[in-house]
Structure 1
Amino acid sequence: MKQKIEHYDVVVCGGGLAGFCAAVAAARHGATTCLIHDRPVFGGNSSSEIRVTTHGAAAFHAYARESGIVSELLIQERALNHEFINENGWTNSVWDMVMYDMAVSTPNLTFHLNTSVQETKMKNKRSIEAVVCRTANAEIEMTVYGNTFIDCTGDGVIADMAGCEWRLGEEARAEFDEMFAPEQASSNVMGSSIHFKAIDMGRPSPFKAPEWAYHYEDASFFYKMGRPLFNTGLTDRYRSGYWWIEIGMPWDSIYDNEEIRHQLTRHTLGVWDWIKNKDPKLKEIFANYALDWIGQVPGKRESRRIMGQYLMTERDALHHTVFPDEVAFGGWNIDLHTPGGLLAPTSEPGAAEGYALVSDFMRKSICGPYGIPLRMLIAKDVDNLMMAGRNVSATHAALGTVRVIGTTAVMGQAVGTAAALAASKGISAADVPEKAIAELQQLLLRDHCFLPNVKNEDPLDLALSAAITASSEAKFAGISPDTAGYHEGLNVWLSQLQTSHTDLLMKRRGQWIAVATCKLDSLQVCVSNNTQQTEYVKAYVMQADSIWDYRIGAPQLAHATLEVPPGAHQWVEWKVELSAAAGLQPGTYIRLDLDENPNVEWHRAGKIEPGHVCGFDMGGGKMRRYDNGISMSVQVDPPQPCYSAANVVSGYTRPYRYTNLWRSEPDTHPLPQWLELSWEEEHNISTVELAFAGNLLREYHAYEPFYRDPQCVRDYTISVWVDGEWRELLACEGNYQHKRVHRFDRPVATNKVRITVLATNGDPSAAIYEVRCYE
């Protein structure tokens, strides 16, 4: 056995998406970093070996997609990949190579694939000195020394070896007053899954299951027990594996992993046998389909949870606890799978209800977006050990929301950045929440992460002190059913197609509207009344704290009853006459709500207006997103200048408490358009950082092959004012990423910087969320 010794600032164990983002973040911030992963490809559950597609907060909330490193990766994958994404089983090796390319291209990052940790060496009880690793098929044993270690192994292997306290299973309800916890504590954990994929052969393709496969005979097992085969006409949906092919107890999710893999294989073949040979409808639809792939690495949901400086509970997610050490965010629902999976009477509650949009379970389980504290990502027993992924310090119930891949990725970026910051300051990871949290938060925001309760206040960002002007600024006057949009390639996650083709007011519905002035004279809605008599609809204007303020009982600014005569596609006006005296606040959102009237249809707009979303009453005093992030037809008088140039220094890089977006006026000012920052005195500008629009509205699953978001700026230049004229410093072509950092060869003394947008990827408006400038 060949022996090797290596030394690093940061050692990350586990190369799933959490560990990968942690390692890249640490290396980008100057720390010498080693990433150790026991598989041949990066990505963990998201890789082509397991093929769990990347879910996150945008499954439930518009404009809540995770940004930062994970967004870079997903945007790149969609731009390069020919494969359509719908659900589990669809991931191919393009995703692996996108991650591999980033790893190879990242300075300060060394990685070892096919390498597993065998032993942890301790300096003392509170500090890890090194990990001992073995590389498969290479007869190499390495001892890797580090200052900070990050456990992203999923099973908490490093923490366990280091003697950290951990939990496994369900807490009792009374311990933390969690409504999703059982009355009695247990060792039950959520199960593991493997996935499959099928291919259309264009001719009959018989299938015979082996004798050792599980043989299903009862249709009610699928159709009445929450194991949907999606017999909805969306044929492509059947081609890939189902999350509910899941096995857990009575097997141990750690020690019985190989037995779980075998049992999952038996059941996967049995499910395909049912589809191909027994299901009354699907066997005809799938006569020409053949199995193309079956996973053989179980995708694990839960095992050890390492106890950190803070233990997150479901109450933190449901009630949006504001943490002083917030470093990430989540927004998936409290999604706890039934113990036993396929061996249980029914699958998880949401599926058992047929994914009902309105139910007692959905009202209780929807949460977020909420903040995640750094303290739950730092082991309480070892000062130089951090963690990210499904092994973080959370109760079983809280794990139901923080465990999804998109959320674990942003947690990974947070701990990687924290580890590098600790190295630069010469402090331990355990001290970062007390000694460097504000600096860490500003670093994360600069790297295009989103924190719900922190905004850009970087004292080094010169843009915050600049005067901002632009060649034009769009206003929001309204949108109609006939308004054309630029959304080519933007679809919906087919498994969450929420509405029919009608927009009848079956429940109260609200449209968020950005307000930029203290004057709002009238609002109009486009509605149809297909009855023979006049219908009446109660209308309300509510003050909304953000686009995720779902309170039915939000502060009310005005109310009226609208009269809707018989007829189709008619505009009904409401003279609201709102002003500052009535509570109208510039730089905020209001929400226009129309009450339930199933005889009236409020028509959706033909385009999606940036930052203007819609929700509906799900009961229990709150709304949830309507459809998949659409806009309703509405007219606003006077038009609101809510896309001003000053928005690029709002401190936020997405619609949130306001639009936070500069958009040029597309109708009267075609591209090119420019945005300018100016100061009274000259500064030596060396770096300009840009955050463009796009890739935030919906889940990754909604973006089609070779997707480049039409809103995203494609071609642009950066110029500076020198000696009485504009000097172009750089020209960029073919961009589709929404975060770009440009460092110049040498600083330039100037008092003006101009970004000129020459072309987008399809939208006629230039659109920028943020500009930063540094000396």
Structure 2
Amino acid sequence: MVKNVSYDVVVVGGGLAGLCAAVASARNGKSTCLVHNRPVLGGNSSSEIRVTPHGAAAFHAYARETGIISELLIQERAQNHEEIFENGWTNSIWDVVQYDLVQQTENLTLYLNTDFQKVIMRNERNIKAIEATVQSAEIELQIAGEIFVDCTGDGIVAHSAGCESRMGSEGRDEFNEPHAPEVPSGDVMGSSIHFKTKRLDYSVPFEAPEWAIHYEDASFFYENGRPPKEERGGYWWLEIGVPFHTIHENEEIRHELTRHALGVWDWMKNRDPKMKELTKNYALDWIGQVPGKRESRRIMGHYLMTEHDPQQCTVFEDEVGFGGWFIDLHTPGGLLAQHSEPASGEDYNTFTEYAVKSYAGPYGVPLRCLIAKDVDNLMMAGRNVSVTHAALGTVRVMGTTALLGQAVGTAAAIALRQNILISNLPQNVVHTIQQQLLRDGCFLLNSKNEDPEDLALQARVTSSSDALEYGAGPNDLGFHQGLSIWKDQPQYTAIELKTRRGQLIAVGADQIDTITLCLSNHTASIQQLDIELLGVRDIWDYRIEELPVILKTRVDVPIGEQQWVDIPVNLHGLNVGTFMRLDVLPNPQVSWPIAGKIITGHMASYQIGENKMRRFGSGHTLSYKIMPGQPCYPAQNITNGVTRPAGFTNLWKSESTQGLPQWITLSWDQEVEIETIELTFPGHLIRELHAYSPFYRDPQCPKDYNLEAWIDGTWEVLLEISGNYQRRRSHRLPTAVLTDRLRVMVTATNGDPSAQIYEIRCYGNE
């Protein structure tokens, strides 16, 4: 049976990049189809493969990806009982969350279990349609479209259309990339399968089949970067690539990975000196049979992103997404090589030469990387975008590829709406694309809300109260229920000052009299500390040199634990609405206790290289106090165009001691007509998915709130919302209202005593 169908946008590949591309295109008004060759969505993150999504927040506080991927992950945590652990612990609830989003999305048609076969070209530079086969249904589809998006990972649509691609490692001479090998090769990162175990109340034997790999050498694991440190599974290093071809020999790779996975479990259960006793009561619960692929073809676009771009945080005028994973290039061959991925072989020591040169971002990704140069109506997102092998080491993680998917879906819809070739998008309408991405909940490093249709940008903003920030000490309590760090990560209470340490401080007023640090002197004599107060461009400004020096001083630290030491800064004329970084130079005889709560935007860092800091811990705040208290969460922040801590806190926060309800009001000189109100709340930004517990609802996120308008001399409730836990909410009113005042009244949060909002947008009849 042959069926002919037609859509505006055709997306092939239903991993997170493809899913976000299809949803974005459909939400922006274009008829869209999503073609996927598996029974469930999510690609490597699905319950078939179970690679847990990583992203920029693994290395940079407040760098969590937002937009469609954020909606999905927040929803998954809110309704899933399963702990998020490393690879192997994704369950079918995640599949259903993605499927539910597709079913709710107007203009979107889904074809699961459908294999792409080939393209039909209109001419050598234009795709007319694709041919696909629905598995087990004897249906052949011919799907016509205006714009096609290749999110297949292997770039099979682009390959079928004759696009130039790269596969393998560029040599050092081509781009002088720090991670490139001396000579080019066909080497790519390998594929992995994962397994999950289950703890029982009794000992469980395990006997591997004869065809499984038999391991005897403990050094293969413990001296070569493959520590089986968790009895529950989750080993990314169950990886094989070279000498197999990651596309054409995928089945051979699957079989070899199965042999090795069973062999690893056999080693752990029966011979591993560290794990044998720990795994005694554990049994295999699940083992994957679909390899999770890291690398194959990379389709050449209008710009080839090299490793220098994430390392130097290149600013692109056509930036449409961001990343922040490190330059993570796995050893070719995986288990067949002597050593695993280099960082693991160094036990993730952050001070090594490799670690310093691999820490990258947050950095922007240009739209030109996502537009095929050889076909006029083809875009791509995922691990097949136009980057070098070295740059793919950071771009390939799923949090980043999901953002790129939303970007191309949005760009495709705008190209069709404005009747413009996609190759002309970066030059002609990139600002429109960026503004739409921001409105749809995404974050861009170098853009802010400048939407002329947003009535809120014309309003005056007032509130019931604005919080002052005085800092925090080791005994202060925060509201972080359900937010943790991984079992195998360091559990800090204080840090010895062996290296330079930095603490961000938001400047809310033009005057600071005193900063006080809580310090512990472990010796029998007074210790001295050198302190520098530096200006930074944003919270991810990890430089040491070239920063403006606001103050240099030296203080004495008295003997004893947790002594509060005053730094009489006496500063005036400060740049309000920025961050400073207070750096304490090394003295290993002194330690700096961790604050008992996380202050929004106020993360700490430490020196790893000559001119490079990196995030400390998982976004911790170090213990400090500041006088006078800084008004760094004013109501005016909600219309500054940025929806997370970056150059400033960018958050309105009410005074916690005043309790709830609390309100924020937009006022206009003349009445305006409002039909749509869009809100961005705090939550789910500071750390990546793995830190959030089952059924998590972020305490900082408003739970119950009212939208109210001033009509005929009184406040009229337009909408009452209860039970919210999503970060972004868009409310279309039943009928437009004419008013000169709009109020958001927060009556309850998910745990925090303060009302908090990043942004309010208002739109008339669109």
- Scaled by the length of structure 2, what TM-score is found? 0.99
| 2:673 aligned with 1:689 | no
| 2:529 aligned with 1:537 | yes
Query: Is the Cα contact below 8 Å between 2:708 and 2:718 reproduced in 1?
Result: yes
Deviation at 1:494, TM superposition (A): 3.7
Query: Is the Cα contact below 8 Å between 2:496 and 2:590 reproduced in 1?
Result: yes
Query: Is the Cα contact below 8 Å between 1:56 and 1:699 reproduced in 2?
Result: yes
Equivalent of 2:723 in 734, 737, 761: 734
Equivalent of 1:650 in 622, 632, 640: 640
Letter in 1 for 2:228: L
Query: Is the Cα contact below 8 Å between 1:47 and 1:95 reproduced in 2?
Result: yes
Deviation at 1:744, TM superposition (A): 1.0
Which position in structure 2 is the counterpart of 1:19? 18
| 2:733 aligned with 1:744 | yes
Query: Is the Cα contact below 8 Å between 1:498 and 1:628 reproduced in 2?
Result: no
Which position in structure 2 is the counterpart of 1:443? 436
| 2:513 aligned with 1:521 | yes
Report the secondary structure of 1:97's partner residue. helix
| 2:557 aligned with 1:567 | no
Alpha-carbon distance in 2 for matches of 1:228, 1:536? 41
Alpha-carbon distance in 1 for matches of 2:584, 2:178? 32
Report the secondary structure of 2:452's partner residue. coil
Report the secondary structure of 1:648's partner residue. helix
Alpha-carbon distance in 1 for matches of 2:571, 2:532? 12
Query: Is the Cα contact below 8 Å between 2:493 and 2:593 reproduced in 1?
Result: no
Report the secondary structure of 1:116's partner residue. strand
Deviation at 1:620, TM superposition (A): 2.2
Report the secondary structure of 1:646's partner residue. helix
Deviation at 1:453, TM superposition (A): 0.6
Query: Is the alpha carbon distance of 1:494 and 1:388 closer, same or farther for their aligned partners in structure 2, counting shifts above 3 Å?
Result: farther
CA deviations 1:400-440 (Å, max 9, x no partner) are 00000000000000000011111111222222112211100
Alpha-carbon distance in 2 for matches of 1:106, 1:428? 26
Report the secondary structure of 1:336's partner residue. coil
Which position in structure 2 is the counterpart of 1:10? 9
Which position in structure 1 is the counterpart of 2:662? 673
What aligned pairs does 1:299-698 form with structure 2 within 5 A after superposition? 299-495=292-488, 497-498=489-490, 500-553=492-545, 554-580=547-573, 584-667=574-657, 669-698=658-687
Letter in 1 for 2:449: N
CA deviations 1:537-583 (Å, max 9, x no partner) are 11110101111011122221101111011111111001011122xxx
Deviation at 1:601, TM superposition (A): 1.3
CA deviations 1:594-644 (Å, max 9, x no partner) are 111111111111100111100011122111111110101111111110000
Letter in 1 for 2:583: D
Query: Is the Cα contact below 8 Å between 1:498 and 1:626 reproduced in 2?
Result: no
Query: Is the Cα contact below 8 Å between 1:194 and 1:241 reproduced in 2?
Result: no
CA RMSD of aligned residues (A): 0.8
Query: Is the Cα contact below 8 Å between 1:357 and 1:498 reproduced in 2?
Result: no
Letter in 2 for 1:3: V
Letter in 1 for 2:542: Y
Which position in structure 1 is the counterpart of 2:116? 117
Deviation at 1:499, TM superposition (A): 5.4
| 2:710 aligned with 1:706 | no
Deviation at 1:732, TM superposition (A): 0.3
CA deviations 1:196-222 (Å, max 9, x no partner) are 000012111100001100011000000
Which position in structure 2 is the counterpart of 1:70? 69
Alpha-carbon distance in 2 for matches of 1:366, 1:499? 22
Report the secondary structure of 1:238's partner residue. coil
Which position in structure 2 is the counterpart of 1:233? none
Equivalent of 2:714 in 696, 721, 725: 725
Point out the more displaced range, 382-391 or 551-560: 551-560
Which position in structure 1 is the counterpart of 2:265? 272
Letter in 2 for 1:604: I
Alpha-carbon distance in 2 for matches of 1:334, 1:498? 23
Letter in 1 for 2:139: I
Report the secondary structure of 1:275's partner residue. helix
Query: Is the Cα contact below 8 Å between 2:231 and 2:282 reproduced in 1?
Result: no
CA deviations 1:717-747 (Å, max 9, x no partner) are 0001111111110000000000000011221
Alpha-carbon distance in 2 for matches of 1:751, 1:123? 54
Deviation at 1:498, TM superposition (A): 4.1
Which position in structure 1 is the counterpart of 2:59? 60
CA deviations 1:257-308 (Å, max 9, x no partner) are 0000000000000100011000112111111100000000000000000000
Which position in structure 1 is the counterpart of 2:757? 768
Report the secondary structure of 1:143's partner residue. strand
Query: Is the Cα contact below 8 Å between 1:721 and 1:750 reproduced in 2?
Result: yes
Letter in 2 for 1:759: A
Deviation at 1:443, TM superposition (A): 0.1
Query: Is the Cα contact below 8 Å between 2:494 and 2:594 reproduced in 1?
Result: no
CA deviations 1:86-126 (Å, max 9, x no partner) are 20000000000000000111000000000011110000111
Alpha-carbon distance in 1 for matches of 2:523, 2:316? 52
Report the secondary structure of 2:656's partner residue. coil
Aligned sequence identity (%): 58
Query: Is the alpha carbon distance of 1:363 and 1:498 closer, same or farther for their aligned partners in structure 2, counting shifts above 3 Å?
Result: farther
Report the secondary structure of 1:282's partner residue. coil
CA deviations 1:41-94 (Å, max 9, x no partner) are 000000000000010000000000000000000000000000011200000000
Number of residues paired by the alignment? 763
Alpha-carbon distance in 2 for matches of 1:482, 1:281? 37
Letter in 1 for 2:633: Y
Alpha-carbon distance in 2 for matches of 1:774, 1:284? 62
Deviation at 1:500, TM superposition (A): 4.5
Alpha-carbon distance in 2 for matches of 1:574, 1:241? 47
Alpha-carbon distance in 2 for matches of 1:347, 1:579? 53
Query: Is the Cα contact below 8 Å between 1:493 and 1:699 reproduced in 2?
Result: no
Alpha-carbon distance in 2 for matches of 1:427, 1:143? 25
Which position in structure 2 is the counterpart of 1:216? 215
Report the secondary structure of 1:283's partner residue. coil
Alpha-carbon distance in 2 for matches of 1:493, 1:650? 35
Point out the more displaced range, 551-560 or 329-338: 551-560
Which position in structure 2 is the counterpart of 1:234? none
Letter in 2 for 1:587: G
Alpha-carbon distance in 2 for matches of 1:335, 1:504? 29
Residue ranges of structure 2 left out of the alignment (5+ in a row): none
CA deviations 1:662-712 (Å, max 9, x no partner) are 000001x11000000000011110111000001000010000000000000
Query: Is the Cα contact below 8 Å between 2:493 and 2:594 reproduced in 1?
Result: no
Deviation at 1:357, TM superposition (A): 2.1
Query: Is the Cα contact below 8 Å between 2:146 and 2:377 reproduced in 1?
Result: yes
Letter in 2 for 1:77: E
Equivalent of 2:277 in 262, 284, 301: 284
Letter in 1 for 2:755: A
Letter in 1 for 2:584: L
- Scaled by the length of structure 1, what TM-score is found? 0.98
Point out the more displaced range, 420-429 or 328-337: 420-429
Alpha-carbon distance in 1 for matches of 2:660, 2:49? 44
Which position in structure 2 is the counterpart of 1:245? 238
Alpha-carbon distance in 1 for matches of 2:487, 2:631? 35
Which position in structure 1 is the counterpart of 2:188? 189
CA deviations 1:100-158 (Å, max 9, x no partner) are 00011100000000001111000011110000000001110000000000000000000
Letter in 2 for 1:467: R
